[in-house]
Amino acid sequence: MQGSSRFRLLRLFSRKTPLHKDLRNLLGFEPGNISVYEMALSHRSGKGKTDDNNERLEYLGDAILGAIIGDFLFRKYPYRPEGYLTEMRSKIVNRQQLNDIAIKMGFRKLTIYDRYNSFLKVSQIFGNALEALVGAVYLDKGYRRTKRFVFRQIILPYIDLEILEGVEMNYKNKLYGWANKQGKHLEFELLEEQIEGGRRLFTVGAVINGKVLCSGKAYNKKDASQIAAQRAIEKLGIAEKPELPSGPV
């Protein structure tokens, strides 16, 4: 009896923590297993143990989110071909897109990470944490509640399908096309490779006529080169990046 009373007190206390209140506002429902949500918000740089982070939940959330978005688009566009649906899903779950959404949802404040690391502040760890949160909701509440969460808290306030239709996602190809028209030589070079939080961090430069115009950092070369290309496009004024709806923060 004494043990069960203590458990109820601990449970009551946990529901009064700032994290619990923030989660309830973010999720739109009462969270159950607080620990799984804390794990979802924990970047490897912010925890002492190397395995005490959100990477496994990110993997799970990525798969669940892809399935939910795929189902949503399939029902939304009953007469669109497979290629269109695949491209639109890629645009929605694009890393930069998810990172922008996560920041608007308040993940800068909620994510547990090394705040002294200046790179992490401008990296895509917030989008990764959003994917991990989707995985946490799935483990805590199941698929139906996760589907409702994604639709109400992500799709409705932050996804404008008409804008996304016109968004160019392959920045490298766009930059190559511009370079060919201008008669310029474009290449992407690996400028630096270092270890960051136990993982390899790549810096790739967009090099035009032998000069580095812009660079991008990521945990794989493909993402780093896309970031470099996107920054080069914005710097050259080739095309303005469409603004996503701000939605509630």
User: Is 82 among the residues known to form the active site?
Assistant: no
Residue 63 domain flag: yes
The full DSSP string for 73-90 is HHHH-TTS-HHHHHHHHH
Percentage above 70 pLDDT, the chain? 84
Q: How many domains does the chain have?
A: 2
Residues 40, 152: one domain?
A: yes
Partners of 195 in the β-ladder: 200
Catalytic residue chosen out of the listed positions 58, 71, 87, 131:
131
**Listed residue (49, 92, 50, 55) closest to 71, CA to CA:** 92
Q: Which of 62, 165, 234, 240 is catalytic?
A: 62
Given pLDDT bands bounded at 50, 70 and 90, which one contains residue 16? low
Instruction: Work out the number of other CB atoms within 10 angstroms of the CB of residue 242.
Output: 13
Range of the domain at 35: 2-165
* Main-chain phi, psi angles of 112, to 5 degrees: -95, 110
Catalytic site includes residue 168 = no
- Final residue belonging to a domain, choices 116, 133, 165: 165
pLDDT tier at 48 (50, 70, 90 boundaries)? low
Its pTM surpasses 0.75 = no
pLDDT score of 174 more than 50: yes
190 strand-pairing partners: 204
Say if residues 213 and 232 touch (Cβ distance below 8 Å).
Answer: yes
> Which of 111, 140, 165 is a domain's end point?
165
Same domain, 64 and 113: yes
